[in-house]
Structure formats: C-alpha cells, structure tokens
Amino acid sequence: MRDRVERLIERLVRASAVERIAVSVAALFASILVGAVLVFVSGGFASCRTGLDLAGWTFCYNPIQVYYELFLGAMGHPLQGGWSPMNYSLATTLQQTTLLIFTGLSVAVAFRAGLFNIGTQGQLVVGGLATAVSVVYAAAIVPGGLVGTIVLIPIGVLVGAIFGGLFGAIPGALKAYADANEVITTIMLNFVAVGVASTLLSWQFQDPNSSNPQTQPVPEYAEIPTIPYVGFGGRMDFSLLAFAFAVALMLGVAWLLARTSFGYELRTSGVQPEAAAYGGVDDKRMVVSSMTLSGALGGIGGAFWVLMVHGRWLENVPELGFDGIAVSILAGNNPLGVGAAAFLFGILQSGSRSIGTATDVPPELVGVLSGLIILFVAMPEFFRMIGSRYVHVERERPARADGGDAESETGGDADA
C-alpha cells in the first residue's frame, strides 16, 4: 500500500504541464458532479411550492440552473439577448481577479523561495491603510485634475508596496536571524496588523464626518480611472487599467523568477537550499528579500483595494490575503498560473452572488459548492507541492552569488 502511494506521489510530482492541466480539468468536472448530487439531495429537505417530484419526495433545487448561474451568471449571462461585455457581473469577476492576482503572487513568491507566507492578509491591511493615508495627505499639496491622478496614484501604490514589504520583512528577518518559524510569525502578524491598523485609525486617521470605522476618502481624481468609452463604468468599482497593471506585474514576476540571477537564487533556495548555499547564495539575505518582495506584492493588493474599489480604507478588510494562499496552491506557485487561478476564484465569488439572486439555494450551500470546486482542483497541486519536497524532479546547478559557476571553480559535485 505504501509503495503504491509513493509511486502515485512520484508520478504526480513528475507530471508534465499538459498532464497537470488534464488533472485539474478532470478534478473540476468531478467537483461539479459531486456538487450537483449534493445540491439535488439538499433540495429534498427544503420547502418549496414547485419542484421535481420523485419517489414521494419533492426536490426543490435544480443543479443545472445552479451551475448555469454560477459560471454564466459571473459573466452576466452571455447566452441571453442584449448581453454587453461591460456588465456589472463581469466587472465584479474581473475586480476580484485583479485583487487576487496580487495576493496570489505574494504567496507564490514566498512559496518558490521555500517559505510559507500566511501573512499576506496582514501585509494587505498595512499597505492599504498606508496608501489611503498617504494619498489623503499628499492631495493637500499636489494639484488636482490630471496632474493629481498621475502623481497620487503612483505614490499610493508605491507607499502600499513599501509598507507591505517592510511588514513582510519582519517575519523574514525573524526567520533568517532568529530561526523563528515563518508560519507562526506570519499568522501572528496578521492579528498585529489588524490591531495596529484599528488603533491608528481611531487615534489619528478616522474620518470625522463618518461614524463608520474608515479613513477620509481620497480625492476622486486619485482613484484609478476607467478607460473612456471602452471601459467599465465608475460605479462598477473596476478599472481595466488596474487589471492591465496586474497582468503586467504577473508577467514581470514570472520574468524575474525565470530570467534573472535573483530569481534563480530564489528558486534554488526553495528547491535545494543546501546546494544554493554551497553555490554562494546568502541564505539569510535571500529569506529577507523573498519575504520583503512577497509583502510588497500584498501591500500593492491593499493599495488597489483602496484606490480602485472603495476610495478609502475600511476597517472591514475582505480576506483577499487568505484567498491568495488557495490561488497560489491552485496555480502550482507559478506566477503565470496565478492569473488563471485568480480568474476561477473571481468567477466563483461573482457567480455565488448570481445564484443568491436567481435561485432559492441558501448561501451556505453555495459556499459549500465553491469550496468543493476549490478543494478538488487544488488538492492535486497541493499533494504535488508536498511531494516535491521528497521527490526531486530536476537538479538545478547551483550558481555563485556573483553569477559564476560553482563547479568550474571547485570541480566538485554541484548537488553535493
């Protein structure tokens, strides 16, 4: 039995990209089938006026309608007449996709470095608050209009990245120089971030004109603009420019990891830390750098949540950072895969709202359906990630920090 499990894990770890996609698609269909049965059976215990009468039972829920609303409702029902691609449901889907790209990338970068950053949520909270406060104060000295848009938005995003990065560097430094477990420290720092942000809000940055816990609103010209005529309306809280930035950042992170010496050292540290250290990589510096970059990406997510969605920082921050963990696992910690995984999450979240308005299915059951899909699709990648720690798919040659070849200088075995 043990040998069969080991062979299965080894086969999963050594699966090609095409095989991994095929496994994910099969898992998606399996989750839909299991979820359909669950919805149908649950309808037998609900009360309704009309339903499917079968063997003396009345089944109230139609699984086909539920999945129709879940997937096509998230797009605004494109099969119906009068459909426009600029509809509210699709805007909600893409808005969630944009934000989850940032948090998914944040978690993925840490994972690729062999670190578990559970603290993206806290880094998003800190980065978002810093963005809102900095833009509000900077708006007092920066001219308004187009100049304000060009100046304030980059300032807000940069400040969010800096504060998110600094907050991410804390568990990195604790890990590197005190051997503190980063899983524990990042989890604890999530609570610290919420507590500190709430205290600062009530102490200094509370909007005096509102009884809700929130900062003053940033000027309208400091919010991320929409594209005239071809973009979504301002009321939809989504900007194609923000989405384009997220995609560009995703490509940039993929390039950084695949084509630069820093990315090579980061990946090697995650796969073979001993070989990386032998090759001249400063493991302490790499741990702090990786967590700082991861935190900066989470902080950018907070900045866009402020500048694109609400125009201010609210105390009730959605759990985008925790969702980013599932997004990263689903993507196999691949930056390019993060986009597809984030889009699936965006569909599930937007489609869930469509189910709630178009059917009588309770929101708890909708949440179970979404969870089933995520669980089924993410589990193969999760087991692959765990198994890769014990099955070496490939052996990367260590590189010295100065870009030299360790083997050529030492003549030893690179993987020793």
- Find the CATH number of the domain harbouring 274: 1.10.3470
> What is the mean predicted confidence (pLDDT) over 66-70?
91
Q: pLDDT at position 363, please?
A: 85
Q: Is 371 within a domain?
A: no
Contact 161, 127 (CB under 8 A): yes
Cα separation, 286 vs 276, in Å, equals 10
Are 123 and 43 found together in one domain? no
pLDDT at 309: 94
Tokens of residue 334, six digits: 């691949």
Residue 407 has pLDDT above 60, yes or no: no
Q: What is the pLDDT of residue 275?
A: 81
- Are 46 and 92 found together in one domain? no
Helix (H) or strand (E) holding 92: helix 88-112
184 falls in which pLDDT band (50, 70, 90)? very high
317 and 99 Cβ atoms separated by less than 8 Å: no
The pLDDT score that the predictor gives to residue 14 is: 80
Average pLDDT, the chain: 87
Q: What whole-number distance in Å separates Cα of residue 157 and Cα of residue 127?
A: 9
- Ranges 229-233, 368-372, 406-410: which has the least confidence: 406-410
Q: Is residue 335 part of a domain?
A: yes
In this predicted model, what pLDDT tens digit does every residue of 77-106 receive, in sequence order? Answer: 998 888 888 899 999 999 999 999 999 999
Q: Is the pLDDT of residue 291 over 80?
A: yes
pLDDT category at 298 given cuts 50, 70, 90 is very high
Helix, strand, coil: what percent of the chain each, to 5?
Answer: 70, 5, 30
Residue 416 pLDDT level (bands cut at 50, 70, 90): very low
57 & 111 share domain: no
Same domain, 214 and 286: yes
Determine the pLDDT at residue 347.
Answer: 93
Q: What is residue 391's predicted lDDT score, i.e. its pLDDT?
A: 64
Torsion angle, alpha carbons of 400, 404, 405, 411, to 10: -90
Neighbours of 327 (CB within 10 A): 32
In a domain, 392, yes or no: no
Give the pLDDT of residue 234: 73
Tell whether the model's pLDDT for residue 6 goes beyond 80: no
Residue 24 domain-assigned (yes or no):
yes
CB contact set of 199 (below 8 Å; sequence gap of 6+): none
Confidence of residue 156 (pLDDT cuts 50, 70, 90): very high
The pLDDT, as a whole number, for residue 410 is: 40
Sign of the CA dihedral running 217, 220, 222, 228: positive
Predicted pLDDT of residue 392: 58
Residue 367 covered by a domain? no
Helix (H) or strand (E) holding 208: none
Instruction: Check residue 230 and report its DSSP letter.
Output: T
State residue 405 phi and psi, 5-degree precision: -100, 120
The verdict on 209 and 327 lying in the same domain is: yes
pLDDT band at 278 (very low <50, low <70, confident <90, very high): confident
Cα(124)–Cα(140) distance, rounded to whole angstroms? 25
**Can you read off the two tokens belonging to residue 36?**
């359909």
| pLDDT tens by residue, 7-52 | 777 777 788 878 888 888 898 899 999 999 999 999 888 888 778 8
Q: Output the pTM of the full model.
A: 0.87
Q: Based on the structure, what is the number of domains in the chain?
A: 2
140 and 251 in a single domain? The answer is yes
Q: Based on the domain organization, do 129 and 236 belong to the same domain?
A: yes
Residue predicted with more confidence, 5 or 118: 118
In the prediction, which pLDDT does 403 show? 46
**Domain carrying residue 33:** 1-61
In the prediction, which pLDDT does 409 show?
42
| pLDDT, mean of residues 195-203 | 95
| pLDDT 10s digits, 326-347 | 899 888 889 999 999 999 999 9
